[in-house]
Homo-oligomer: A and B are copies of this chain.
Amino acid sequence: MSQDVGRVLDALRSRRPLVHNITNYVVMNSTANALLAVGASPAMVHAAEEVEEFVAISDALVVNIGTLSRPWIEAMHLAVAKADGAGKPWVLDPVGAGATRLRTETAHNLIRHRPAVIRGNGSEIMALVGSSGTTKGVDSTTGSDAALDAARGLALSTGSCVVVTGAVDHVTDGERVVSCANGDERMTRVTGLGCTLSALTAACLAVEEDRILAALAACTILGVAGELVCGQSEGPGSLQVSILDSLARIDRTMLIGRAKLT
């Protein structure tokens, strides 16, 4: 499986997919830099007047509901309907689902347009299956293991591949479950690495049709990139910077050597 993950990274580097991001203000810079670093071509485009046209020229789309507003929700719907109709893969990142009704409802409405992958933390995935779990704003209070049943249920009811991230990241289509134990607890102190993972997942989907493999590749790439630099980083500021360096430097051999997949 780690060989396949290495192959996805190589494909990403050789094809440099154009990834269309409708994402939150907090992470736009770090997400664009992460996509550039790993070898993709990012664009942030959200006006209702242009999102459909941009979906048409993009290789994949990520929709992240981290900072919502009515005009953006409208544009998100136009974009995902277009992606669904055109057979372009798209990723939903339901940031803060469960924290407010607007977020939970927006996520549910977007899901009707069949995301290839839904990627969230434990609290978010629990909220999407209607579990009365708890949330602390956009941070999770539920581990990924505890949310695995919810992830399976969400995958079965939606037809999407679901990724629930935490100490171990689980990827499931409702039947198979594959898991990635790469990463480091210190990465939770950097804002938006979950959002980065969703964007990397879109980049991998642009070059790999097997959605489980694409999602697993993204988890492994970011997890290994983080592990390679966590030890020598002075703190979360340095770590945010070093992960970008690491995403640019990481290669198939490093992935294969360090992947912790089951």
Q: Is the pair B43, A138 in contact by a Cβ cutoff of 8 Å?
A: yes
Q: Is the pair A236, B240 in contact by a Cβ cutoff of 8 Å?
A: no
Alpha-carbon gap, A249 to B233, bound state (A): 12
Stretch at the interface among A19-27, A173-181, A203-211: A19-27
Chain A positions 97 through 137: 1 when the CB is less than 8 Å from some CB of chain B, otherwise 0: 00111110000000000000000000000000000000011
Residues on B with C-beta less than 8 A from A101 are 50, 53
Alpha-carbon gap, A236 to B249, bound state (A): 10
Stretch at the interface among A4-12, A65-73, A149-157: A65-73
Residue of B nearest to A101 (CB): B53
Q: Is the pair A33, B96 in contact by a Cβ cutoff of 8 Å?
A: no
Copies in the complex: 3
A148 sits at the interface (CB 8 A): no
- From B20, B102, B237, A240 is in contact (CB under 8 Å) with B237
Q: Is the pair B32, A29 in contact by a Cβ cutoff of 8 Å?
A: no
A2 sits at the interface (CB 8 A): no
- From B139, B191, B236, B246, A235 is in contact (CB under 8 Å) with B246
Residues on B with C-beta less than 8 A from A57 are 99, 137
Residues on B with C-beta less than 8 A from A243 are 237
Stretch at the interface among A34-42, A84-92, A251-259: A34-42
With A29-B29, A33-B190 as given contacts, are A50 and B237 in contact (CB-CB < 8 Å)?
no
A241 sits at the interface (CB 8 A): yes
Q: Could you give 5 example pairs across A and B, Cβ below 8 Å?
A: A29-B29, A41-B139, A53-B99, A69-B71, A240-B244
A residues within 8 Å of B by Cβ? Answer: 18, 20, 24-30, 32-33, 36-37, 41-47, 49-50, 53-54, 57-58, 66-71, 96, 99-103, 136-139, 189-192, 233-238, 240-249
